[in-house]
Structure 1
Amino acid sequence: MPNDKVQIFDTTLRDGEQVPGCKLDAKQKLIIAERLDFIGVDIIEAGFPVSSPGDFTSVSQIAKIVKNATVCGLTRAVEKDIEVAAEALKFAKTPRIHTGIGTSDSHIKYKFNASKDEVIERAKNAVAYAKKYVEDVEFYAEDAGRTDNAFLAKVCEAVIQSGATVLNIPDTTGYCLPEEYGKKIKYLKENVKGIDKVTISCHCHNDLGLATANSIAGVMHGARQIECTINGIGERAGNTALEEVVMILKQHPYLNLQTDINTKLLYDTSIMVREKMGMLVQPNKAIVGANAFAHSSGIHQDGVIKNRETYEIINPEDVGVTESAIVLTARSGRAALAYRAKKIGYELTKLQLDAAYRTFLQFADKQKEVIDEDLHVIMKKVNKISKIAIA
């Protein structure tokens, strides 16, 4: 794999589906899996096969239909989990088992009531056992974000020796700051024997709103896989948003990192996932929110109308949005009014625009937004404005 390629590991169907109320049926999962494969996702985490018969069946069906991406199944460091995952993945063109164990002091003491040596032994055994079934084994060090770096490095070195091909370094609780998460990846790169033979993966949660920033910090320090979800859905405050990291890498070419995602399909994919999961996206959501390319301030509108790049760093068409939206409100200026009026067939002179603007402000002060139907009423109120033909 080229060193500038960042693999996109999508866990919408696993971590994303763990959100309360977002349960998908098997048919919906297949539709989303096909779309993820189509847009260029490298790895699809299809589910947690041992968790339920339904999840097992879904993973198995997804494994059969995915044409390009690696299909991955999650397990705990438990032999039965691994056996079930291997069975579910047996039809996959390229299967991966994702196994692991908690490594932070909190997990070791309270979750496992074990010693650090026992955790390392369980991690090694899980990877070795998974390796009997598939060549591609990813190991996750749960709560790596709060794990001592020296111990984390020791765990990573042990699982590499057992055959791990990918090391997942999750900020499970979303606690890390970007600088410390980046330094954690850097520490592993410099202190783990055999690290150059595996891919380091970032799996960041958004509890403090830093999932995307942490993932980017990770790849800037040597990670080459980002685990993410469409719309950033996931446990609690969610996961790293696929659309965000992909567009950051696209918009900052000096990072010398790229993905294989077809970005023109991002908006449409976002709509598909939100509709099938019943999980709304807030209007101000980066990249795919309804307001991501909408402008209501007169100063911004005038700038965008003159040159889109004045206030937009992303061309809406690059993510599948038809065009920027000029939303008419009481904060809009004459340029926006003239622009929107022309869109529906009115070519205004300066005097006509001045008259129309005065009437427009009366409308705008009474309602949140002035829509096209309102504009027709406004033009009728202003004397001697006639509708032009629209080509």
Structure 2
Amino acid sequence: MKNVEKYQRGYFMPPVESLKWTRKEYIDHAPMWCSVDLRDGNQALIIPMSLDEKLEFFNHLVKIGFKEIEIGFPAASETEYEFCRTLIEKNMIPDDVTIQVLTQSREHIIKKTFEAIDGAKHAVVHLYNSTSVAQREQVFRKSKEEIVKIAADGARLCNEYREKAKGNIIFEYSPESFTGTEPEFALEICNAVLDIWQPSADKKVIINLPVTVEMSLPHIYASQVEYMCDNLKYRENVIVSLHPHNDRGCAVADSELGLLAGADRIEGTCFGNGERTGNVDIVTLAMNMFSHGVDPKLDFSDMPALVELYERVTRMKVYERSPYAGRLVFAAFSGSHQDAIAKGMKWRDEKDPDHWTVPYLPIDPKDVGREYDGDVIRINSQSGKGGIGYLLEQKYGYNLPKKMRENFGYAIKNVSDHKHKELMPEEIYEIFKNNYLNVSSPVSVSESHFVQETDGTITASVTAAIPGKGTAVYSASGNGRLDAVANALKNAIPLDFTIESYEEHAIDRHSSAEAVSYVGISANGKTVWGAGRNTDIIVSSINALLSAINHILKD
């Protein structure tokens, strides 16, 4: 690719080796979560949310379980300021929820920020200034000492305004563009701010290490985070926070490795909305923990409701393949995948295991408010008999014999291939019903009577309507009722067939128990299937036989 020489690695390794995080296997507890949907996420929208939309989203974030929510940059616009004041004045912030507001290290902005949070019971004032080489040289054109002074001056101003404020206010500092900053300088400026704020056990300080722009592989970021965690002053009273963006598509990995490296807190958004490629997707991050048996302390059990709200108020879309939340993330179209899922679900029914191990499904879709039928097994021309049969069983209660599933599967695939579209469950059931179930044309049976003979055989008298012959009674004997009916029908129609398979099961839908029968007959060198359904098992089996016979006669 052309112009590759234009680019170079713009990150910095820590001055000492920081690899303790590599010895950890997984994240064993939930971090502190801070949603920035209403600030970072909102500022990245083409059409920012209205006040009512932000209030609705805020309430839903609280419902999910967020205890810290960054609500905006109140000095940036009157809309942001009004939102903050509305939450406080209308007493909409639960006592266990802390709002967070962002401010640059400039006095008039800090002053306006403290005015905005006046009356809040719990608030985080988030101070930041940019520290990277590129920002220092190109944007601010200041020395390291001057950049440190910007941060220190802002920290002192925060102290002064907090002394006059009411409520529980804690501070957060971000060396913005941390990933493009020399780790030694990031440490120096953070420690300078900490010296001013003097964190204590009852007044902790948050040091946020933002991936303002992703520049490295995730393990580099983890090493940077570990270096900071190991060398920050007052560490026992400092909450190390991460705010990863997704420029290289690695925000989730940055966050996970950063937590292994010692971070305590994550700032991100639902579904990863944010500037450029977005923030870390908290849904994915939290659900990854959930899939390892770790409670993320956030409740995504009604994922469809969150998706609906998010798409409506942000005018953004959750990608169909977005982990855990996308419309198709649990969907299996492939025949082999469908078969494995169907067998895995059957195994669960048989064994009732303690843990979820179904092939191809990392979590139970029902744990995020999704259903097996329609969400998991999806039918198109690539689907297989296992998935099609599973859907018919789960949705409508028909447990087709293995060979019949194969026959029906080919029929469904042919329809989907011809129409070039996915088939919905109701369409699949309609095909089954029209072609296999209680098919009473061209031959129909209105009555059947049976006599037990002394030699153990059964004689059947069948009243059948035959095209060209009208309605008549036909009799024959067999080694069972269905065999006797089959022999009687052979006397009525010019078709030589043999019953190859018969299965039955009860079906209980809408409080009326019925029997379903499946019959496979061989004729003219091929096996054809039919199904019958009735409250009487004998009638059900005859209907299944007739369905198979009529299938052949129609052909």
Q: 1:70 aligns with which of 92, 98, 102?
A: 98
- Whether the 8 Å CA contact 2:252–2:281 is kept in 1: the answer is yes
What does 1:200-349 correspond to in 2, within 5 Å?
Answer: 200-253=240-293, 259-308=296-345, 309-323=358-372, 324-342=375-393, 343-349=395-401
1:338-364 per-residue CA deviation (whole Å, 9 max, x = no partner) reads: 122231354434454343223212112
1:276-327 per-residue CA deviation (whole Å, 9 max, x = no partner) reads: 1110111000111111211111111112222252111212233332445210
Q: Which amino acid aligns with 1:218?
A: G
Cα RMSD after superposing both structures: 2.1
Instruction: Provide the residue aligned with 2:51 in structure 1.
Output: 26
- TM-score, structure 2 as length reference: 0.66
Give the 3 Å change call, closer, same or farther, for CA 243–384 of structure 1 in structure 2. Answer: closer
Q: Which amino acid aligns with 2:333?
A: S
- Whether the 8 Å CA contact 2:382–2:413 is kept in 1: the answer is no
- Whether the 8 Å CA contact 1:352–1:385 is kept in 2: the answer is no
User: Is residue 371 from structure 1 mapped to residue 371 from structure 2 by the alignment?
Assistant: no
Give the 3 Å change call, closer, same or farther, for CA 384–52 of structure 1 in structure 2. Answer: closer
Deviation at 1:266, TM superposition (A): 4.2
Structure 1 range deviating more: 96-105 or 322-331: 322-331
Instruction: Provide the residue aligned with 2:411 in structure 1.
Output: 359
Q: Which amino acid aligns with 1:206?
A: N
Give the 3 Å change call, closer, same or farther, for CA 92–267 of structure 1 in structure 2. Answer: farther
In 2: Cα distance, 1:136 partner to 1:192 partner: 18
In 1: Cα distance, 2:344 partner to 2:264 partner: 36
In 2: Cα distance, 1:362 partner to 1:295 partner: 18
What does 1:1-16 correspond to in 2, within 5 Å?
Answer: 4-16=29-41
Q: Which amino acid aligns with 1:333?
A: G
Deviation at 1:127, TM superposition (A): 1.9
In 2: Cα distance, 1:125 partner to 1:266 partner: 44
* Larger Rg belongs to: 2
Instruction: Provide the residue aligned with 2:185 in structure 1.
Output: 151
- Whether the 8 Å CA contact 1:16–1:229 is kept in 2: the answer is yes
Deviation at 1:240, TM superposition (A): 0.3
**Identical pairs, percent:** 28
- Whether the 8 Å CA contact 2:45–2:314 is kept in 1: the answer is no
1:200-223 per-residue CA deviation (whole Å, 9 max, x = no partner) reads: 111011111111110111111111
Structure 1 range deviating more: 293-302 or 207-216: 293-302
- Whether the 8 Å CA contact 1:298–1:331 is kept in 2: the answer is yes
Greater per-residue helix proportion: 1
In 2: Cα distance, 1:73 partner to 1:370 partner: 49
In 2: Cα distance, 1:244 partner to 1:118 partner: 39
Q: 2:211 aligns with which of 171, 176, 198?
A: 171
> Number of residues paired by the alignment?
386
List gaps (5 residues or longer) in structure 2: 1-27, 163-168, 200-204, 346-357, 440-505, 511-555
Q: Which amino acid aligns with 1:72?
A: Q
Instruction: Provide the residue aligned with 1:56 in structure 2.
Output: 81
User: What secondary structure sits across from 2:279 in the alignment?
Assistant: coil
Q: Which amino acid aligns with 2:44?
A: V
Q: Which amino acid aligns with 1:94?
A: H
User: What secondary structure sits across from 1:50 in the alignment?
Assistant: coil
Structure 1 range deviating more: 348-357 or 228-237: 348-357
Structure 1 range deviating more: 212-221 or 313-322: 313-322
In 1: Cα distance, 2:263 partner to 2:239 partner: 7
Q: Which amino acid aligns with 1:167?
A: I
In 2: Cα distance, 1:6 partner to 1:291 partner: 29
1:150-203 per-residue CA deviation (whole Å, 9 max, x = no partner) reads: 111101111111216001111111223210110011111222222332111110
List gaps (5 residues or longer) in structure 1: none
Instruction: Provide the residue aligned with 2:509 in structure 1.
Output: 390
1:36-68 per-residue CA deviation (whole Å, 9 max, x = no partner) reads: 112111210001101111110012223441102
User: What secondary structure sits across from 1:382 in the alignment?
Assistant: helix
- Whether the 8 Å CA contact 2:191–2:232 is kept in 1: the answer is yes
Instruction: Provide the residue aligned with 1:197 in structure 2.
Output: 237
User: What secondary structure sits across from 1:51 in the alignment?
Assistant: coil
In 1: Cα distance, 2:330 partner to 2:341 partner: 10
User: What secondary structure sits across from 1:206 in the alignment?
Assistant: coil
- Whether the 8 Å CA contact 1:347–1:388 is kept in 2: the answer is no
Q: Which amino acid aligns with 1:293?
A: F
Deviation at 1:246, TM superposition (A): 0.9
Give the 3 Å change call, closer, same or farther, for CA 385–365 of structure 1 in structure 2. Answer: farther
- Whether the 8 Å CA contact 1:356–1:382 is kept in 2: the answer is no
Give the 3 Å change call, closer, same or farther, for CA 351–244 of structure 1 in structure 2. Answer: closer
What does 1:128-143 correspond to in 2, within 5 Å?
Answer: 128-134=156-162, 135-143=169-177
User: What secondary structure sits across from 1:290 in the alignment?
Assistant: coil
Deviation at 1:251, TM superposition (A): 2.6
Q: 1:84 aligns with which of 108, 112, 115?
A: 112
In 2: Cα distance, 1:357 partner to 1:325 partner: 17
Structure 1 range deviating more: 215-224 or 260-269: 260-269
- TM-score, structure 1 as length reference: 0.93
Q: Which amino acid aligns with 2:384?
A: G
Greater relative contact order (Cα < 8 A, sep 6+):
1
